[in-house]
Amino acid sequence: MLVKQAKDAARQWVIEEASTAPGFCGAFYHGSTNWLADDAVLPATSDVDIKIVRAGSSPTDKLGKFIYRNVILDVSYVPSDQLQSPDLILGTYEMAGSVRAASIILDPSGQLSKLQTVVSRDYAKRAWVQRRCEHAGRKVLRYVRSLNEAEPFHDQVVAWLFATGVTTHVLLVAGLKNPTVRRRYVAVQELLADYGRLDFYETLLELLGCAGMTRARVEHHLAVLTDVFDLAKTVIKTPFFFASDISDVARPIAIDGSRELIERGYHREAMFWMVVTHSDCQKVLYHDTPVETQKRFRPAYRRMLGDLGIASFADLRQRTEQVRDFLPSVLEVAEAILAANPEVEG
């Protein structure tokens, strides 16, 4: 299916379903489809992200992933209060790339179009690119501070993972590239190769703990993950924000997408999202299965983490501190990319 065809299906869903809901203010495409040409083929391991703008200040729920007309849609909400100012969007790295693109699906008030005009005009200006890099850096530190020994171990792991993984976003933002989620390490490798800094890329993988991991070992972890995923998607009952990522609908992205990366030679890069997914599966088992089931699947999860050098909360604390201490180096490389980037204006 072409990207345009997938977007057309998404648009039809917004018209038929989302636009009739109370508080609907507009909708736009979000994420990687905004970085693809309309005549490109949408990978089978990708979805179409949609942001629904709703009146108010703090909608926290997420509709999540589902299939509509043979397209995987991933729908989340953004409060209209967060879209009042172009400056607010220009300084928010997750949002700016989507709003500056030709991404509007429906805009009954015309507010999104006004925002898009300004954001598109100023998106590549140096001051705003720097602001977004700093925003990504602050997000790293938020994850560092969120590590909490009182939480279940799988939630502790997620805090460390995203503190580590968002370092790639700091660099991608400086390169005016898509701060993608699952493929972030592939994307940042390509970026650093363009700027002659593959040495720094290896340091990023060392920070994650997978720099020396073999393909065979990653394939083993994927086989184990597949088994626990296929169980978790059948027993999940307790809601959480990313619950729809553990489902039949999401399987092509989480499992097949990881396999595709491995087959393309990106086995180390696949580890980030594999560990995120395994942590989410552990969360499902923790809430929705008997203790005996949890005990049966926990050792494989611990072995995966052990291969990354993680065995305890003390390890997670030490590794998040390493991320914190490493962040100035990341920002320094981001500044060098920004200075050399011909697309950055002024």
Considering the domain architecture, whether residues 194 and 291 belong to the same structural domain is answered as yes
Considering the domain architecture, whether residues 147 and 222 belong to the same structural domain is answered as yes
Residue at 240 is within a domain = yes
Considering the domain architecture, whether residues 172 and 237 belong to the same structural domain is answered as yes
Report the 3 state secondary structure along the chain: CEHHHHHHHHHHHHHHCHHHCCCEEEEEEEHHHHHCCCCCECCCCCCEEEEEEECCCCCCCEEEEEEECCEEEEEEEEEHHHHCCHHHHHCCHHHHHHHHCCCEEECCCCHHHHHHHHHHHHCCEHHHHHHHHHHHHHHHHHHHHHCCCCCCHHHHHHHHHHHHHHHHHHHHHHCCCCCCCCCHHHHHHHHHHHCCCHHHHHHHHHHHCCCCCCHHHHHHHHHHHHHHHHHHHHHCCCCCCCHHHCCCCCHHHHHHHHHHHHHCCCHHHHHHHHHHHHHHHHHHHHHHCCHHHHHHHHHHHHHHHHHCCCCCHHHHHHHHHHHHHHHHHHHHHHHHHHHHCCCCEC
Residue 149 has what pLDDT? 97
- The last residue of one of the domains, among 95, 123, 151, is 123
| Separation CA 178–CA 237 (nearest Å) | 33
| Separation CA 193–CA 157 (nearest Å) | 29
**What is the full per-residue pLDDT of the chain (346 aa) written as tens digits?**
999 999 999 999 999 999 999 999 999 999 899 999 999 999 989 999 999 999 986 666 789 999 999 999 999 999 998 898 999 999 999 999 999 998 999 999 999 999 999 999 999 999 999 999 999 999 999 999 999 999 999 999 999 999 999 999 999 999 999 999 999 999 999 999 999 999 999 999 999 999 999 999 999 999 999 999 999 999 999 999 899 999 999 999 999 999 999 999 999 999 999 999 999 999 999 999 999 999 999 999 999 999 999 999 999 999 999 999 999 999 999 999 999 999 999 8
Domain range spanning residue 264? 127-328
Considering the domain architecture, whether residues 68 and 133 belong to the same structural domain is answered as no
Considering the domain architecture, whether residues 96 and 131 belong to the same structural domain is answered as no
What is the pTM (predicted TM-score) of this model? Answer: 0.95
Residue 60 has what pLDDT? 63
| Separation CA 137–CA 123 (nearest Å) | 18
Residue 135 has what pLDDT? 98
**Look-up of token digits 């005016």:** 176
Residue at 245 is within a domain = yes
Residue at 345 is within a domain = no
- The last residue of one of the domains, among 65, 91, 123, is 123
Pairing of strands 71-79, 48-54: parallel
Residue at 338 is within a domain = no
Considering the domain architecture, whether residues 150 and 87 belong to the same structural domain is answered as no
* CATH number of the domain enclosing 110: 3.30.460.10
Considering the domain architecture, whether residues 60 and 195 belong to the same structural domain is answered as no
Residue at 297 is within a domain = yes
Considering the domain architecture, whether residues 218 and 291 belong to the same structural domain is answered as yes
Considering the domain architecture, whether residues 262 and 137 belong to the same structural domain is answered as yes
Of the candidates 160, 270, 159, the residue with the CA atom closest to the CA atom of residue 217: 270
Residue at 144 is within a domain = yes
Residue at 335 is within a domain = no
| Separation CA 269–CA 267 (nearest Å) | 5
Considering the domain architecture, whether residues 320 and 218 belong to the same structural domain is answered as yes
Total domains, the chain: 2
Considering the domain architecture, whether residues 300 and 152 belong to the same structural domain is answered as yes
Q: Identity (one letter) of the amino acid at 73?
A: L
Considering the domain architecture, whether residues 156 and 16 belong to the same structural domain is answered as no
- The last residue of one of the domains, among 101, 123, 145, is 123
Residue at 188 is within a domain = yes
